[in-house]
Amino acid sequence: MYLYNSATHKKEEFKTHTPGRVEMYTCGPTVYHFAHIGNLRSYIMEDALEKFLRYEGYDVNRVMNITDVGHLASDADTGEDKMLKGARRENKSVMDIARFYTGAFFDDCAKLNIKTPDVVQPATGLIDEFIKVVSGLIEKGYAYAAGGNVYFDTSRLDRYYVFNDHDEEDLAVGVREGVEEDANKRNKNDFVLWFTKCKFEDQALKWDSPWGVGYPGWHIECSCISMKYNGEYLDLHCGGVDNAFPHHTNEIAQSEAYLGHPWCAQWFHVHHLNTNSGKMSKSKGEFLTVSLLEEKGYDPLAYRFFCLQSHYRKGLVFSWENLDNAAGAYHKLIKRIAALTGTDGGVDEEAAAQMKEKFLAQVGNDLNTSMGITCLYDVLKAPVNDVTKRAVLADFDRVLSLSLLEKAAALREKEAAQARTAGADGFTVQGEGDPAIDALVLQRAEAKKAKNFAEADRIRDELKARGIEITDVPGGAVWKRL
């Protein structure tokens, strides 16, 4: 497999520290609100990446943090804690907020067929580990205490900026435009490893530490959680492109300073989901969620299909029209698969192997899921029997996770339920699979046959009040919900 590496700015052959095993880390959500569908685009693409690696035969250990403390409104260590902001918004405790939105996040993931990582670690459950690593950084001379807080000293690094090049003079004492000055910092890009109550008196969650009662900075949690569960060598770190700086930059700085050797070889960043007015963001107020998509009648997997149709390194523009197009294409795909009802013959192993080889090559070229979708249509057009097509589609769906065969089976079942219901004299009713409605339509027909038109009209009016439209056709009637 070849993947674009954000750290080297080029596509590289994917290799791991231990052959056959992938130590994978994905930045998890800050659980102060619902995840919006822009956040979930990253998790969909990371899920596809993990599943493709498993499909290739790797043993994958995927670790994810849950940020329930320490992530401030600005990624540059300013503003209030987002968890405290959420608690104040809903008049609940921080931990109540964390539990509720953690559950909501994984509910959304389940609807999108996103696999739960092997390890999920809330930040509040690993405080002792954070204190140990911060203490180690102080001992090694990479961190200093000032004003009650502990900061990482970026001037000690040969290279701080990893994902983008900057002049060394940028490390001089100063303040980035728009960022509140922290007079305790020696250098403007130094970042907080541990806050004490002297900085945020109203912080809800605090712990004892060698530097006073306080709480960890956002960046330190990911390094520590990964080192604990992935080990000292991380093969693959994933996240949204907006995390590259400063979050991932700071992770590299503190991890390599603590370990004394290179930490993570491969960086995978998913680009933004945009609307016509710009990047989707919670800070703008109203934002789109999976639940809202469902309320509007969309299958969440139609949104997954929408995301997979685009490359993860390209910005994706969301509009209802674009989602409608994707939902329509997804439904047509399912309908074509539902028509694969043939049972003659076995799986053509040679043809299946050739199609799988093409799928591996296409998707393995920098996780090109768009070409993976194209491979599905190639299978449908292939000159092989339906048994082979169903087997290959199921195989590819181990990566794409669009529930192709399950949705196709459900569609066939629905269509069977909508089959004609016959009366005693051959009068047939075709509807949407509701026996009670079928029975009323038959009663109306029998009333008409008996010339009891008042009863027939009464039944028609009752059905109309329930949102049912009846159309008489030769030999029967068809009904549908309006």
pLDDT of residue 166: 40
Q: Are 245 and 239 in contact (CB under 8 A)?
A: no
What is the average per-residue pLDDT within 267-293?
80
Can you say whether residue 149 is alpha, beta or left, with left for phi > 0 and alpha for psi between -120 and 50 degrees?
A: beta
Rounded to the nearest angstrom, the gap between the alpha carbon of residue 301 and the centroid of all alpha carbons in its chain is 11
pLDDT of residue 281: 64
Local confidence band at 74 (pLDDT 50, 70, 90 cut-offs):
very low
pLDDT of residue 304: 98
Task: Give the torsion sign (CA, 270, 274, 279, 282).
Answer: negative
Q: Which of 89-103, 250-264, 323-337, 341-355 has the lowest mean pLDDT?
A: 89-103
Closest by CA to 203, choosing from 85, 123, 92, 97, is 85
Q: Where are the domains of the chain?
A: 2-270, 300-414, 418-481
Mean model confidence pLDDT for the chain: 89
Q: Are 378 and 355 in contact (CB under 8 A)?
A: yes
pLDDT of residue 279: 63
pLDDT of residue 51: 98
Q: Which residue has the higher pLDDT, 202 or 191?
A: 191
Per-residue tokens: 32: 């102060």
| pLDDT 10s digits, 40-72 | 999 999 999 999 999 999 999 999 999 987 555
What is the average per-residue pLDDT within 356-367?
98
Local confidence band at 178 (pLDDT 50, 70, 90 cut-offs):
very low
Contacts of 374 (CB under 8 A, 6+ apart): 362
What is the average per-residue pLDDT within 209-230?
94
Closest by CA to 159, choosing from 249, 246, 227, is 249
Q: What is the pTM of this model?
A: 0.84
pLDDT of residue 133: 98
Q: What is the 3 state secondary structure string of 146-191?
A: ECCEEEECHHHCCCCCCCCCCCHHHHCCCCCCCCCCCCCCCCCCCE
pLDDT of residue 423: 63
Q: Which of 51-60, 76-85, 248-257 has the lowest mean pLDDT?
A: 76-85
What is the average per-residue pLDDT within 450-455?
92
| pLDDT for 410 beyond 70 | yes
DSSP state letters, 403-439 = -HHHHHHHHHHHHHHTSPEE-TTS-EEE-SS-HHHHH
Q: What are phi and psi of 277, to 5 degrees?
A: -100, 5
For the chain, give the number of residues. Answer: 482
Other CB atoms within 10 Å distance of the CB of residue 350: 9
| pLDDT for 198 beyond 80 | no
pLDDT of residue 422: 61
Q: Are 118 and 111 in contact (CB under 8 A)?
A: no
CA 84 – CA 95 distance, rounded (Å): 10
Task: Give the torsion sign (CA, 222, 175, 258, 193).
Answer: negative
Q: Which residue in this structure is represented by tokens 């300073």? A: 257
What is the average per-residue pLDDT within 227-237?
98
CATH of the domain spanning 300-414, picked from 3.40.50.1000, 3.30.1540.20, 2.60.40.10, 1.20.120.1910: 1.20.120.1910
pLDDT of residue 386: 97
pLDDT of residue 429: 83
| pLDDT for 455 beyond 90 | yes
Contacts of 418 (CB under 8 A, 6+ apart): 430, 431, 432, 433
Q: Which of 24-38, 45-59, 285-299, 306-320 has the lowest mean pLDDT?
A: 285-299
Q: Which of 182-186, 190-194, 266-270 has the lowest mean pLDDT?
A: 182-186
The side-by-side arrangement of strands in the sheet containing 428-430 is: 421-422, 428-430, 476-481, 468-473
Taking each helix axis from N to C end, the angle separating 369-381 and 300-308, rounded to the nearest 10 degrees, works out to 100
Q: Are 397 and 330 in contact (CB under 8 A)?
A: no
Per-residue tokens: 361: 């090559």
| pLDDT for 303 beyond 50 | yes
Share of the chain above pLDDT 70, in %: 88
| pLDDT for 305 beyond 80 | yes
| pLDDT for 197 beyond 90 | no
Local confidence band at 170 (pLDDT 50, 70, 90 cut-offs):
very low
CA 213 – CA 199 distance, rounded (Å): 11
CATH topology of domain 2-270: Rossmann fold (3.40.50)
Q: Report how far apart, in Å, the C-alpha atoms of 95 and of each of 16, 68, 77, 100, 234 are.
A: 37, 8, 22, 8, 30
> By three-state DSSP, how is residue 105 classified?
helix
pLDDT of residue 171: 37
Q: Which residue in this structure is represented by tokens 């403007």? A: 188
pLDDT of residue 148: 87
pLDDT of residue 382: 97
